[in-house]
Structure 1
């Protein structure tokens, strides 16, 4: 069960990140970076903390948008938010603000969070480290 949840959350990283970053401008800067264990743990904790809000925001926006696909929302790109209907835009802005606070609360800057997210896409070792950290954190949470 924990592995399924971790895989779901790991898949959610891309979704969370797409709500939080613009990957194009970061790809050149993120390649072949190394991140320490503290940063990886903070990243995983932030992802876990953001996930419930991401699911809720996505669900609410989907209801407002209707049967169509939810457009890609990138917090750092106001145009992606401006294209949403009024209430959906408010939900997205609230999610973006909440996510940024979570990232900061776990000791990362949005830029560092974004660089890790981008690097995960092409760095199998980092991806495995984050996955293992997610599993460990979930086990610790479930055993308390």
Structure 2
């Protein structure tokens, strides 16, 4: 995968909940994130991104040219302005995201803390960026090995 795609994914990670979000409160102190959490976070983001894009496109088709409102997963009232079918898509995305995060050994609270910290911590942002690159390269190498004659 290209570096620009990784950058776009990381940008999405730092803003992953701009459309589908979870309320995250920033603490005044710097968050310590270990290497395992960095990897788990990156894996979660990579698994969530295609689902987020699909949900966004489906909702966009349903509501037409209107701008999609900010949807906060743990604030059901943020979905009130959506038509019922679009609400269902948003709820399904939120539920899937929670499962993905849990499957990668993070709590939603911890995922949100890391998301907020990325916005304020360049070193952590770079570490996650590099981890996303590594994971994508590993995935591409595995795919290539499976598809090789």
Tell me, yes or no, whether TM beats 0.5: yes
* Contact 1:45-1:106 at 8 Å conserved across structures: yes
Structure richer in helix, relative to its length: 1
Bigger Rg, which one: 2
- Partner residue, 2:21: 20
List gaps (5 residues or longer) in structure 1.
none
Find runs of 4+ consecutive structure 1 residues off by over 4 angstroms.
none
The alignment's C-alpha RMSD in Å is 1.2
* Contact 1:120-1:126 at 8 Å conserved across structures: yes
Looking at structure 1, the residues matched to 14 and 120 of structure 2 have their Cα atoms a distance apart, in angstroms, of 13
- Partner residue, 1:39: 37
* Contact 2:21-2:70 at 8 Å conserved across structures: no
Q: CA deviation at 1:97?
A: 0.2
Q: CA deviation at 1:110?
A: 0.3
| Range with bigger deviation, 95-104 or 82-91 | 82-91
Q: TM-score normalised to the size of structure 2? A: 0.90
Number of residue pairs matched by the alignment:
141
- Change in 2 beyond 3 A, CA 1:88/1:74: same
Looking at structure 1, the residues matched to 31 and 133 of structure 2 have their Cα atoms a distance apart, in angstroms, of 23
Correspondence 1:1-144 to 2 at 5 A: 1-18=1-18, 19-23=20-24, 26-28=25-27, 31-144=29-142
List gaps (5 residues or longer) in structure 2.
143-149
